[in-house]
Amino acid sequence: MKNIVILISGGGSNMAAIVNAAHREQWATRYQARVAAVISNQAAAGGLAVAQSHGIATDTVDHKAYASREAFDAALRDRIDHYAPSLVVLAGFMRILTPAFVQHYAGRLLNIHPSLLPAFPGLHTHQRAIDAGCQFAGATVHQVTAELDHGPILAQAVVPVLAGDTADTLAARVLTQEHLIYPRAIAALLSEKL
């Protein structure tokens, strides 16, 4: 069985979309794959309870308990590797990862970013898209490399920016598409590569 470990920091709606797709599409029998654990850097992340309600193991590695980014990443890596993952999926995981961490999971570390990369890496993507006068926005699933929000693109979804959009209304429109493309990109990887 191929283990998927999902990292979250908050509500975990992308994580829930992946867990639901895995159940609905029977990834266990189709791809011999399962979501083995959901790990957060925030003990209060709402997504942890959601994962538990699906019978998935959860864990917290609190970044504030570590003196450096390197020490946090080493502890996080140990916790992730406990589940021997074939795939590590960042789903709203709001920490910058060290090159050593990224290298350790080279080729099996995915992220979803709420913009049409390479436009708008970093934070506040929706407000920046509105401020730039973009007519379209979206989300990108990509392999993670050492450079923040870069790396080979696996899937993208495009949505219109509508008159009167705020960062929140645009984020909500993009998020509905994230929930479609992230499970789809993972399923494609599971069937083709891993």
- Residues annotated as catalytic are 113
Residue 52 or 191: the one with the smaller Cβ distance to ligand GAR is 52
> Which residues, at least 6 apart from 16, have a Cβ–Cβ distance to it below 8 Å?
47, 50
DSSP string, 80-135: HHTT-EEEEEESS---PPPHHHHHHTTTSEEEEESS-TTSS-SS-HHHHHHHTT-S
- Site residues for ligand GAR, window 86-145 (CB under 6 A)? 91-92, 112-114, 139
CB of 52 to ligand GAR, least distance (A): 16
CB of 165 to ligand GAR, least distance (A): 15
Of 155, 161, 175, 186, the one binding ligand GAR by CB under 6 A: 175
Of 3, 10, 95, 153, the one binding ligand GAR by CB under 6 A: 10
CB of 97 to ligand GAR, least distance (A): 11
CB of 141 to ligand GAR, least distance (A): 9
Q: Which stretch binds ligand GAR (CB under 6 A): 11-19, 24-32, 76-84, 101-109?
A: 11-19
Preceding peptide of 85 cis, ω within 30°: no
76 by Cβ neighbours in 10 Å (0-12 / 13-18 / 19+) ranks as buried
Chain residue whose CB lies nearest ligand GAR = 92
Contact yes or no for 88/143 (Cβ under 8 A): no
